[in-house]
């Protein structure tokens, strides 16, 4: 069986757009953890407001595990905090090839600052920059780091190039 591809990275790094394109090029299903959470549990904003971030992380972690232990190859993009616990890092590394979409803080911030659907994006630039820096050690557990400050197509093609190399080795 081919291993799934997991895309990780900060909010606004392009995981969903690049993931969708990568899946299309590979002709395999695309799954977005946030979409799956919203389908099952309602909006992420509401989950944060009514149940708190801790409960959101539990739901997120369960979904990551569920998607990755099923035996189908998928391209899976997970929320910016989904790769930031040792438990989730292990599940991902054991079951998939992980690509970190590396995007500068300024570019991520530009893309998320006006977005109403991300509860953490409302916390202000300074706070977000600290969060960004605190997550880098987790993201660096990925097998590959891909610079995502280029076109969606180029980024997706680079992911596929690296993925095909490991399949052969
Ligand atoms: C979060 C990122 C979001 C979403 C939630 C929390 C985070 O996903 O899971 O708002 O902690 O970084 P995206 O990275 O897709 O925006």
At residue 169, the pLDDT reads 55
| Ligand 1 pocket test target in 81, 84, 148 with most atoms within 8 Å of CB | 81
Find the residues whose C-beta lies inside 6 A of ligand 1: 11, 15, 34, 44, 79-81, 118-120
| Ligand 1 pocket test target in 32, 56, 79 with most atoms within 8 Å of CB | 79
Residue pLDDT tens, the chain, 169 long = 689 999 999 999 999 999 999 999 999 999 999 999 999 999 999 999 999 999 999 999 999 999 999 979 999 999 999 999 999 999 999 999 999 999 999 999 999 998 888 999 989 999 999 999 999 999 999 999 999 888 999 999 999 999 999 866 5
Taking the C-alpha atoms of residue 74 and residue 77, their distance in angstroms, rounded to an integer, is 10
Cα of 12 vs centre of ligand 1, distance in Å, is 9
Distances in whole angstroms, Cα of residue 91 to Cα of each of 67, 95, 115: 10, 6, 30
> Which ranges of the chain does DSSP label H, i.e. alpha helix?
15-26, 33-41, 44-69, 86-95, 105-112, 125-139, 152-168
Taking the C-alpha atoms of residue 131 and residue 30, their distance in angstroms, rounded to an integer, is 27
pTM: predicted TM-score of the whole model, two decimal places:
0.96
- The pair phi, psi for residue 26, each rounded to 5°, is -90, -5
């Amino acid at each position: 069986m081919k291993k799934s591809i997991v895309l990780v990275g900060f909010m606004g790094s392009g995981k969903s757009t690049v993931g969708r394109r990568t899946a299309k090029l590979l002709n395999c299903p695309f799954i977005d953890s946030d979409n799956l959470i919203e389908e099952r549990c309602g909006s992420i904003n509401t989950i944060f407001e009514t149940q708190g971030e801790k409960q959101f992380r539990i739901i997120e972690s369960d979904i990551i595990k569920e998607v990755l232990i099923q035996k189908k190859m998928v391209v899976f993009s997970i929320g910016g905090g989904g790769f930031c616990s040792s438990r989730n890092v292990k599940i991902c590394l054991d079951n998939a090839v992980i690509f970190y979409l590396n995007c500068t803080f300024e570019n991520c911030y530009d893309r998320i600052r006006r977005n109403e659907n991300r509860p953490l994006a409302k916390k202000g630039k300074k706070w977000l920059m600290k969060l960004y820096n605190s997550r880098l050690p987790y993201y660096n557990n990925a097998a590959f780091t891909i610079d995502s400050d280029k076109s969606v197509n180029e980024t997706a093609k680079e992911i596929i190039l690296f993925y095909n190399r490991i399949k052969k080795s």
